[in-house]
Structure 1
């Protein structure tokens, strides 16, 4: 009997098999040298080289986290203490959907309607584990950026119904006011790679002129973890 499976189902089956059989590569030691894995910057890597690369990347991420929080604890202790619980939970998240869910839970504790992250479809390679609800078209958002954000990294305030329909699903409406944060601007000054959005029912909750110091530190933390969650999908060239 022939069973037809799509790529996602095959991938899931392979992952389950390898997890259930940790001795697989011991029994097939030659595969360690034969497997070649595409890499965005280095062309191709062996499985062992990829493991070492992942470890080096994780060390860099941990060093960046420590530096960020050491600076924050020294300069703004109140923000440091407010963000520590979120940082701890995000560090435990293994993938993008888990991370978004934790940020959303954290936001709801502050009586916000929702928190979400939208990925620009020209910056990341799509993957079946990241649903369509997490993606946004840059051309469509460009109208909002030009009208609301300009050269800044944040927008706090209300949106038109047309603008809301681009950023939120029908079931996430109505939305009163939002905080829109551009992610990835430090690595690429020309365009952001994702959006971090917070929404509130109250039209006056977020408004122009509010202090964005807290949001700036929050964005720095989310960006650190976003790279880790999406590293396996590779950033598009």
Structure 2
């Protein structure tokens, strides 16, 4: 049995035995967890740390929606139902399912969240969600320039990098870079919308709605994958 199998068995055991630590208080007192900035933390300290991070994310989410409600009411009300469902999603897979259900109302084919491995870590991210940065760099240089969004068609080579065979054919896409901040020039992933119609997405379309949608998805992405983000 390899290390990964043992780890999964431990996880399943603890999930099925929620009172384990209550029955082994000596272990709880002595258990320490490595932390990138703080050396090591007790289990209780780690729980408090995670709660503080969750509060920060919720505060940022509330601030974002307050700004959006004040500045662009139409977009705010259009995104509210989606925001409520995303808030109830507990992990990446559930979040993508919510996005796909929402996208089908707009005759879209699919929504994908693809992440760059050098910005994230953790086994809870499935293979289908990883994206090769070197391969995507050719698309970024050709299609994005200095922009955060690309809307339009892709070549067959580009499609083969972003989509599985059973997800083809794809007519046009809206591809959005995630994680672009003033102090972080490299994206940590992409949010990808696809449509069968080659004219559904095209160069020159207004991206205001997409911009707000990306901001919301980014907030939830960090909540879904909080332990996996590389500092």
Q: TM-score range by the shorter chain?
A: over 0.9
Cα distance change of structure 1 residues 187 and 125 upon mapping to structure 2, 3 Å threshold: farther
Which of 27, 31, 35 is 2:31 aligned to?
A: 35
For structure 1, which runs of at least 5 residues remain unmatched after alignment?
Answer: none
Q: Describe the SS at the equivalent of 1:31.
A: helix
Which residue in 1 is equivalent to 2:116? 120
Between stretches 80-89 and 33-42, larger displacement belongs to 33-42
Mapped to 2, the partners of 1:63 and 1:132 lie a distance apart of: 31
**Structure 1 residue 41: deviation in Å?**
2.7
Which residue in 2 is equivalent to 1:184? 179
Which of 144, 152, 156 is 2:147 aligned to?
A: 152
Mapped to 2, the partners of 1:159 and 1:26 lie a distance apart of: 55
Q: Deviations over 1:22-66 (max 9, x none)?
A: 322122112223212122332321101100001101111111111
For structure 2, which runs of at least 5 residues remain unmatched after alignment?
Answer: none
Q: Describe the SS at the equivalent of 2:119.
A: coil
Q: For 1:6-155, what aligned pairs fall within 5 Å after superposition? A: 6-127=2-123, 129-155=124-150
**Structure 1 residue 13: deviation in Å?**
2.9
Q: State the TM-score, normalized to the length of structure 2.
A: 0.94
**Structure 1 residue 96: deviation in Å?**
1.1
Which residue in 1 is equivalent to 2:224? 229
Q: Describe the SS at the equivalent of 1:94.
A: coil
RMSD between aligned alpha carbons?
A: 1.5
**Structure 1 residue 227: deviation in Å?**
0.5
